[in-house]
Amino acid sequence: MTDFPASTVLGYPRIGPRRELKRALESYWDGSSDRLQATAAQLRAQTWLRLRELGLAGIPSNTFSLYDHVLDTAVLVDAVPERYRHLPELDRYFAMARGTQELPPLRMTKWFDTNYHYLVPEIDATSPFRLASDKPAAEYREALALGVDTRPVLLGPITFLLLAQAAPGSPEGFTPLSRLDDLLPVYTAVLAELAEAGATWVQLDEPALVTDLTPGQLAAVRRAYDQLASAGPKILVAGYFGDLGEALPALSAVHGIALDLVRGGLPDLSLLRGKTVVAGVVSGRDVWRTSPDVLTLVDRLRPHAAEVVIGSSCPLLHVPYDVEQETDLDPDLRDRLAFAEQKVREIVALSRGSLLAGPISAPVPAGFGITATATRSPYAIRAKAQARLGLPPVPTTTIGSFPQTGDLREARAALAAGTVDVAEYETRVRAEIEHVIRLQERLGLDVLVHGEPERNDMVQYFAEHLDGCAVTRHGWVQSYGSRCTRPPIIHADVKRAEPITVRWATHAQSLTDRPVKGMLTGPVTIVAWSFVRRDIPLRDVVWQLADALRGEVEDLEAAGIGIIQVDEPALRELLPLRQSAQPEYLEWSVGAYRWATSGASDATQIHTHLCYSNAGEVLAAIDALDADVTTIESARSGGTLLTAPGIADYSRGLGPGVYDIHSPRVPDVAEIEEHLRKILRVLPADRVWANPDCGLKTRAYAQVEAALANLVAAAARVRG
Ligand code: GLN
Ligand code: ZN
């Protein structure tokens, strides 16, 4: 029987075409508006109605979230840690998401290999799960009331538990997945509730199934879906961002499978017999138009499945809303692009066999041929040359950005609108740099930064100054909660026409006797946070960027900048999800980083910064980057870096973050001191740096000043 609508998407952006949700959240948090729920309902309605208007047949629901869909799932099954339970509903939700002055938030980390962050649920060995929210059914009914019969979407139980962490204090060796049998009844209950509300199909998202799973985990997949398949509605399991591989046979009981045919290949077709297959041929991870040639894949599937439906490769959460809004883009480039709206149109057209071939491929196909392995002198020699910097033990520094004030954003908007000229704008930026330098001097930091006031975003700024990259005006993509980024589009060969950061760095250095770090974004990160051309291999794009940055490093050094930081916060993000592909990736990505930095002389101290690195996993890669100093997120991830095997032998400078900058909470001196003492139990004082987890851009000055004063005081205490 075939009953699944002929075209669908697995999910849709939810921040709003004009970031309405961001604004509503931020004014709710600062107490200036109570329009949050109304805005949320409006955005949901708008999405359903728009998808219907575009002709999409299968419309998903429960893809909306006030902050994060993993957090929603934790709330749904009542996996709420005791410490938040006294708070009323919405306060509790946002306390878990963002923390309060008393309570740190849940840990946050990257969603698979995307730049989206989710909140990590804490699961303990005994707390009962129960159905604690009716969000999925309520949103289903909300859509129905508008005349739209939707397919509710849930995060699947396997991915939920695999992404969760064992709650602090759990017994040794406890894994959240061991609670699967306690969790399944709650899923069964939600499914029954959805069936009762009228849903015929429910989508369970299981991207974790495209990663390497152990035989025990595969058995859990089978157990879960054998059970859930008979809970009421028909089950569509969506395994995206890669191949389902070994997990596909374990899904034999379910009615439908959504395949990511952009990232993954065709599976063993015999496993699809009798099933509804959503052929994910329109990419949810890039912004390029789809070729009608993808229909050959669909044709290969048809004889084997009960029915084949055209869909997106993954939820469209990771692409912007509408390319038609980008009136400033070069029309030739714009013709090659598809954002969420255009992708939905493509899916509808493909389902009707009417998609026309358009201008798809990049016009400037050219590779890049650096094969040299780049090395600097051994670290011991460099360290000696860098002693000229005269730094104390446990030097204090920050990661680069200081708060972006409303003034700065206004000045940038005024520049874009033409009401302020470049000279006036630059005067303001220079004044801001001076302010940041004086503040850091006053606070007593050892290695200063210029604060990045000229940068709207650490990737976009470089994209704006490199040939071969384009930026958008409205192309916002949710990063976490109310935070969005506008990923640039790398569409042709990348070249640096002139120095990008030198005048800001030298201005900052001219104001102080203390060393100021030059600040660059690394090649892997620029690629990870951009949409990348697809006519040449990813590694070639990364190496082109590395070569451009190498020139910038050399120019900074020549201009008298003695410390240069090349950020690679996204190094781990691009790590392939399957282990078998990881060594090759690490080789070329680390190689590109070294190409970018190895032009520096021994006396120039190269720093790097990584975020959310689950550092244990990539310690070898951090080592291979060969930076003189690595600062890395650690406060929020509970210091997992410090227990990584081999950490005590790490021989260069290391600054595990001692202050979580993602939360408005200000840590006190004792807390930071405690972090530092923990670090000093593992690493010798001459290697340790004291710094926050990440850049301070998203915080307010009052929080930053207080926190950094405490950081400097804590460093002084441990030195003493
Ligand atoms: N230098 C950047 C900043 O401080 C690094 C940000 C990041 O790691 N994401 O903002
Ligand atoms: Zn960071």
For residue 555 the two structure tokens come to 């120019």
Predicted confidence at residue 619, as pLDDT, reads: 81
For ligand 1, whether the C-beta of 403 sits within 6 Å is no
- Contact at 8 Å (CB) between 242 and 273? no
Contact 69, 155 (CB under 8 A): yes
Side chain identity at residue 506, one-letter code: T
**If we measure between CA atoms, which residue out of 662, 612, 617, 656 comes closest to residue 114?**
612
Which region holds residue 496: left if phi is over 0, alpha if psi is between -120 and 50, else beta? Answer: beta
Cα separation, 110 vs 680, in Å, equals 28
What phi and psi, each to the nearest 5 degrees, are found at residue 99?
80, 170
| C-alpha 452 – ligand 2 centre gap (Å) | 14
User: Exposed/middle/buried for 369, CB within 10 Å: 0-12, 13-18, 19+?
Assistant: exposed
Alpha helices (H) in 30-67, listed in sequence order: 36-53
Residue with CA closest to ligand 1 atom 9: 569
Decide: 179 in ligand 1 pocket, CB within 6 A: no
Please tell me the residue having the least CA distance from ligand 1 atom 5.
Answer: 695
Pocket flag, ligand 1, residue 609 (CB < 6 Å):
yes
564 close to ligand 1 (CB < 6 Angstrom):
no
The tens digit of pLDDT for each residue in 241-260 reads: 999 999 999 999 999 999 99
Q: What is the pLDDT of residues 182-204, one digit of tens each?
A: 999 999 999 999 999 999 999 99
Residue ID of nearest Cα to ligand 1 atom 1: 400
DSSP SS3 for 485: strand
Instruction: Please list, in sequence order, all residues whose beta carbon lies within 8 angstroms of the beta carbon of residue 274, skipping any fewer than 6 positions away.
Output: 305, 306
Report whether 542 contacts 522 (CB < 8 A).
no
In the chain the domains, ranked by start, together with CATH numbers, are: 20-273 (3.20.20.210), 382-455+499-525+538-719 (3.20.20.210)
What pLDDT sits at residue 370?
57
Q: Which of 117, 450, 662, 675 is catalytic?
A: 662
pTM for this predicted structure: 0.92
pLDDT for the residue numbered 663: 84
Rounded-to-integer distance, Cα 314 and Cα 669, Å: 45
Query: What ipTM score was computed for the predicted complex, to two decimals?
Result: 0.99
CA dihedral 710, 713, 717, 720 (to 10 degrees): 160
Give the whole-angstrom CA distance, residue 122 versus residue 180: 14
Give pLDDT tens digits for 401-455: 999 988 899 999 999 899 999 999 999 999 999 999 999 999 999 999 999 999 9
Q: Is 646 left (phi over 0), alpha (psi -120 to 50) or beta?
A: left
Q: How many CB atoms sit inside 10 A of residue 434's CB?
A: 17
Which pair of structure tokens corresponds to residue 345?
A: 């149109």
Ligand that comes closest to the CA of residue 568: 1
Q: What angle do CA 421, 427, 432 make, to 5 degrees?
A: 130
The ligand that comes nearest to the alpha carbon of residue 452 is: 1
State the pLDDT at residue 3: 86
Q: Determine the 3-state secondary structure of 566 from DSSP.
A: strand
Residues whose CB falls within 8 Å of the CB of residue 621, separated by 6 or more in sequence, listed in order: 571, 572, 586, 589, 590
**In whole angstroms, what is the distance from residue 714 CA to residue 711 CA?**
5
Respond yes or no: is residue 318 known to be catalytic. no
Q: Is the CB of 522 under 6 A from ligand 1?
A: no
Residue whose CB lies within 8 A of the most ligand 1 atoms, among 397, 662, 694, for a mutation test? 694
Handedness of CA 46, 50, 52, 53 (dihedral sign): positive
* 400 touches ligand 1 (CB under 6 Å): yes
- Which tokens hold the place of 10? 């697995």
For 250, phi then psi, to 5°, come to: -75, -10
Of the candidates 310, 246, 316, 321, the residue with the CA atom closest to the CA atom of residue 4? 310
Q: Is the CB of residue 453 below 6 angstroms from any atom belonging to ligand 1?
A: no
Output the CA 482–ligand 1 centroid distance in Å.
18
Phi then psi for residue 179, to 5 deg, are -95, 10
Nearest ligand, CA of residue 400? 1
CA distance 643 to 622: 15
The span from the first CA to the last CA of the chain, in angstroms, equals 76
Measured in whole angstroms, the distance separating CA 15 from the mean position of its chain's CA atoms is 15
Q: Give pLDDT < 70 ranges for the chain.
A: 1-2, 359-373, 612-618, 637-639
Give the span between the Cα atoms of 89 and 329, in whole angstroms: 44
In this structure, what token pair is assigned to residue 382? Answer: 């460099």
- C-beta separation of 658 from 690 below 8 A: yes
Site of tokens 């470089």: 462
**Chain centroid to CA 121: how far?**
17
Q: Is the CB of 695 under 6 A from ligand 1?
A: yes
- Please tell me if the CB atom of residue 611 comes closer than 6 angstroms to any atom of ligand 1: yes
Residue nearest to atom 4 of ligand 1 (CA): 695
**pLDDT recorded at residue 683:** 93
Furthest C-alpha separation in the chain:
76
Rounded distance, CA 54 to CA 347, Å? 10
Ligand 1 site-directed mutation target among 109, 115, 401, most atoms within 8 Å of CB: 401
The predicted structure's pLDDT at residue 186: 98
**Which pLDDT belongs to residue 368?**
54
Which atom of ligand 1 sits closest to the CA of residue 521? 1
Give the Å distance between the CA of 518 and the centre of ligand 2. Answer: 16
Query: CA-CA-CA-CA torsion for 84, 90, 94, 95, nearest 10 degrees?
Result: -20
DSSP code for 66: S
Buried b (16+ CB within 10 A) or exposed e, 168-205: eebeeeebbbebbeebbebbbbbbebbbebebebbbbb
Task: Tell me which of 117, 568, 696, 697 to substitute to probe ligand 1's pocket, judged by most ligand atoms within 8 Å of the beta carbon.
Answer: 697
Residue 201 CB partners (closer than 8 Å, separation 6+): 4, 58, 151, 233, 234, 235, 236, 255, 256
Please say whether the beta carbons of 300 and 332 come within 8 A.
Answer: no
